[in-house]
Structure 1
Amino acid sequence: MERRRQDGAVLTQAIIIALFFLWGVANNLNDVLIPHLKKAFFLSDLQSGLVQSAFYLGYFFLALPASIVMRRYGYKIAVLVGLGLFGLGALMFYPASAALQYPLFLAALFVIASGLAFLETSANPLITVLGDPATSERRLNFAQAFNPLGSITAVFLGGHFILSGVEPTKAQFDAMSAAQLAAFQAQEARSTQLPYLVIAAVVFGWAALVACTRFPAAATRPPREDVANAPSAGAAIAALFRRPRFLFGVAAQFFYVGAQVGVWSYMIRYAQHEVGLGEKAAAAYLTWSLVGFMAGRFAGTAAMGKISPTRLMAVFAAINTALTLFAALAGGKPGLMALAATSFFMSIMFPTIFATTIKDLGPLTKTGSSFLVMAIIGGAVFTALMGAISDLSAINLAILVPSACFAVVAAYGLSAARAALSMDTTTALKAPHA
């Protein structure tokens, strides 16, 4: 019986880890969509940045409903709802491209992100509870290591199947007739149809697999002690707001996601402006940056066996503060290399902040998870801010925004490391002596 229970937990982990890959695809296709839709719809940097704003608003508005579904029906149902919304949003790209309406693309992205809000609100805490609580940060970092595989896949395929490589100059655009402009716009918009139809098919197929798989009790219903002790949604929120460490963790996640999304969203634009690269060559830099992100996940997870996760995160965040400052002030190819290097050091931040912030929340875990997913709206806020700064000045100066964000993450890492050390010292003092 015990062996069967362990096998069920391993299978559940494998199926849930695959979700990290899938939402990596969805998230990082946006980094290709931003320059692509900017060109197709003749947008400013601020307008093209609304891709991320629409996307992360979906996370913000659906994270709490996701936690309510989890509290009532368990993790598995929340995952199925998330996959359903994800697939529906991907299907919406077909009519959006056919109608040539930028707002319809934004609506499709909002629906996709609404599904991802359910997936991330459920999958992240589920990984932490399927095993020893003492190694939850390390286990979540391992699961999150599969997220950049999806990210790399997205940018590679997006660069090949969405970006056309056709980049008319302003003079060439001005010389086009209305019919030629319409044909160009239609061709660029249609290139999004096939990739998102494939994504929809994969997502709906995975939903069928999840539905047919028997998950452990921890994934299908709340533990009995959680049901007995669970406060109402309002009481849970009030209790969380009385925890300064939790609130600092949510703030750190807000700033971290803002930095991550901002760097990746405008890396192609930075390469075009600062180095003069074409969109496909610029996308290659983003792809290799994401390879560094994946390498950082595995290297960081291994290092956590010897170094405190929060202390390691503080060091990585400080390095990224310096790298983004250099990219903002130096510009050119050295600045692009520094910007690309930040991905390696970003790698451990999201899962470490997440696992550290929800640790020891007990019956407040599901509601706490939803707030951490809501914090992903930082990607909407700071990407739009960077677009506005770029339109008013230059894209390199917009990189000062993620630099400030990484400084906040470094402060949280140091604070969390001190809190963990203090807790360990208190536990040791209270332990009975032989």
Structure 2
Amino acid sequence: MTSKNLIQLPDGYLNRTPIFQYIMLSMLFPMWAVAASLNDILITQFKSIFELSNFASAFVQSAFYGGYFLVAIPASMVIKKTNYKIGIVTGLIFYIIGCSLFFPASHMATYTMFLFALFAIAIGLGFLETSANTYSSMIGPKKYSSLRLNISQTFYPVGSIAGVLMGKYLVFQEGKSLQAQMAKMTPEEARAFGEQMLQHTLEPYKYIIFVLIGMLILFLVIKFPACKTVTHKSSTSKKPSILETLKYLSKIKNFRKGILAEFLYVGIQTAIWSYTIRLALELNPQINERFASNFMVFSFIAFFVGKFVANLLIARFSISKVLTAYSLIGSLLLVYVAFVPNMTSVYAAILVSLFFGPCWASIYAKTLEFVEDKRHTETAGAILVMSIVGGAVIPVIQGLVSDLTGSMQLSFLVSMACFVYIGNYFYKEMKKESMVKQEEKTIKAM
């Protein structure tokens, strides 16, 4: 343990939170946010350079979130056999390797190689998220598990803003948009120009590598509590296999609902952020990518403010009540984005980020609480992280709708439909909470 006064309870939670280790853990959250927000930059860059449709360009997110999906269960197995710290260290190593692959990718100048590099980064981030999300909820008293994860998640927008700013100043260049510039070139000139522009994609990842190496060293030398269920040597119970855990989890109705809600939430968030720059360029062809990236900065600022305000509201109202209201307003804003044909739609898309709130952390922590047998916690956390694959699916569907309808705006109805489901999910949770409170009042009155 990290302190004489720190006690690990049988269910894996601690009697108090070790502040320094918790801060270190929370600093991981902006690191995967940086990578995710850079994807929004890459989608715009690759679409013009490789002459991709909206559907094809969305495969940036498919490679990224597909890696999360595939690695989550292996990551949980590593954590189960070792500890959360080993999972984090493994994730940082793969993250560094993935960033390094951007160097050969820029020289090979093929879309496939870039997707492979993003997939490698996603393997690292899959380990990090599987470890850090569950670890953040566990590293302290159980009653504050959701609050701890929400606080850690508050750092996410900081990384998102940093990623977009790096994309704006290191990847995007001054002058007309890439599409406008390349339209006037011969095929040979466009190919040479595209290869030159691809070199700029290296710059953000150089800085990320240095930060990751520093974090890796710190995690290697600092001691962290285990936060795993205590099993006595005299106990005859064995650790459950993956199949046993999956069978157990599949029977929990609320766990299944949480998985779907998380899947759709990540899909909405990824789709909206993936296409905000494209929406701005479509509605105003006079602006370039560097200027349009400002709208992403505003989106992430709105996201941060929305999470902060939501945390204040949660102190007075239930999480379900706050997020039901957030989802309703977000859905209405997306209807506006879909049908109002001017730049105010872009600002409406920015405002949607204000109402994402603490959805991810709240669904994650709440769904994990339904797993009463804590021997299954690591795998349950991994499956929740696997639901991030929604970020690989929803943007592709939205891109396909955009190509089929010829309208980027109408494609936002896909995200709106997902947001309606999220609102319904939290509304039902709110009704359950009201019924429980009413029953408690009735019992006290008797």
Q: Give the alignment's TM-score, normalised by structure 1.
A: 0.93
- In the alignment, is the contact (CA less than 8 A) between 2:71 and 2:123 conserved in 1? yes
Q: Indicate the larger mover: 271-280 or 12-21.
A: 271-280
**Deviation (angstroms), 1:415:** 2.0
Partner of 2:344: 334
Partner of 2:85: 76
Out of 196, 201, 206, the position equivalent to 1:197 is 206
Aligned 1:244-259 pairs, distance under 5 A? 244-259=253-268
- In the alignment, is the contact (CA less than 8 A) between 2:263 and 2:390 conserved in 1? yes
Is residue 2:417 matched to residue 1:404?
yes
Is residue 2:12 matched to residue 1:12?
no
Aligned 1:13-412 pairs, distance under 5 A? 13-167=22-176, 173=182, 175-218=184-227, 222-224=229-231, 228=237, 230-276=239-285, 277-361=287-371, 362-393=374-405, 394-412=407-425
- In the alignment, is the contact (CA less than 8 A) between 1:88 and 1:112 conserved in 2? yes
**Deviation (angstroms), 1:172:** 5.5
Residue type of the partner of 1:328?
Answer: A
**Deviation (angstroms), 1:135:** 2.4
Gaps of 5+ in 2: 8-14
Structure-2 change in CA distance of 1:296 and 1:2 (3 Å): farther
Query: Within 1, Cα distance between the matches of 2:435 and 2:378?
Result: 26
Structure-2 change in CA distance of 1:243 and 1:430 (3 Å): farther
- In the alignment, is the contact (CA less than 8 A) between 1:8 and 1:215 conserved in 2? no
Query: Within 2, Cα distance between the matches of 1:124 and 1:387?
Result: 29
Partner of 2:10: none
Is residue 2:427 matched to residue 1:414?
yes
Query: Within 1, Cα distance between the matches of 2:247 and 2:357?
Result: 32
**Deviation (angstroms), 1:348:** 1.2
**Deviation (angstroms), 1:297:** 1.4
Residue type of the partner of 1:137?
Answer: S
Structure-2 change in CA distance of 1:134 and 1:42 (3 Å): same
Structure 1 counterpart SS, 2:409: helix
- In the alignment, is the contact (CA less than 8 A) between 1:138 and 1:304 conserved in 2? no
- In the alignment, is the contact (CA less than 8 A) between 1:173 and 1:181 conserved in 2? yes
- In the alignment, is the contact (CA less than 8 A) between 1:78 and 1:122 conserved in 2? yes
Q: What CA deviation, in whole Å up to 9, does each residue of 1:47-102 have, x standing for no partner?
A: 11110011010011011111111111111111111111111111100100011011
**Deviation (angstroms), 1:144:** 0.2
Residue type of the partner of 1:70?
Answer: I
- In the alignment, is the contact (CA less than 8 A) between 2:17 and 2:139 conserved in 1? no
Query: Within 2, Cα distance between the matches of 1:34 and 1:169?
Result: 13
**Deviation (angstroms), 1:114:** 1.2
Query: Within 2, Cα distance between the matches of 1:173 and 1:59?
Result: 34
Residue type of the partner of 2:125?
Answer: L
Residue type of the partner of 1:27?
Answer: A
Structure-2 change in CA distance of 1:172 and 1:311 (3 Å): closer
Of Structure 1 and Structure 2, the greater helix share is in: 1
- In the alignment, is the contact (CA less than 8 A) between 1:75 and 1:126 conserved in 2? yes
Q: What CA deviation, in whole Å up to 9, does each residue of 1:146-176 have, x standing for no partner?
A: 0100000100111111012444676853542
Q: What is the total number of aligned residue pairs between the two structures?
A: 431
Query: Within 2, Cα distance between the matches of 1:30 and 1:225?
Result: 46
Structure-2 change in CA distance of 1:4 and 1:248 (3 Å): closer
Q: What CA deviation, in whole Å up to 9, does each residue of 1:116-142 have, x standing for no partner?
A: 111111111111112222222222111
Structure-2 change in CA distance of 1:244 and 1:95 (3 Å): same
Structure 1 counterpart SS, 2:73: helix
Structure-2 change in CA distance of 1:241 and 1:131 (3 Å): same
Structure-2 change in CA distance of 1:431 and 1:109 (3 Å): farther
Q: Indicate the larger mover: 376-385 or 134-143.
A: 134-143
Query: Within 1, Cα distance between the matches of 2:183 and 2:280?
Result: 25
Q: Indicate the larger mover: 271-280 or 238-247.
A: 271-280
Structure-2 change in CA distance of 1:170 and 1:287 (3 Å): closer
Query: Within 2, Cα distance between the matches of 1:92 and 1:160?
Result: 21
Query: Within 1, Cα distance between the matches of 2:184 and 2:46?
Result: 21
Residue type of the partner of 1:330?
Answer: V
RMSD: 2.3
Query: Within 2, Cα distance between the matches of 1:418 and 1:92?
Result: 49
Residue type of the partner of 2:275?
Answer: Y
- In the alignment, is the contact (CA less than 8 A) between 1:55 and 1:380 conserved in 2? yes
**Deviation (angstroms), 1:299:** 1.5
- In the alignment, is the contact (CA less than 8 A) between 2:338 and 2:345 conserved in 1? yes
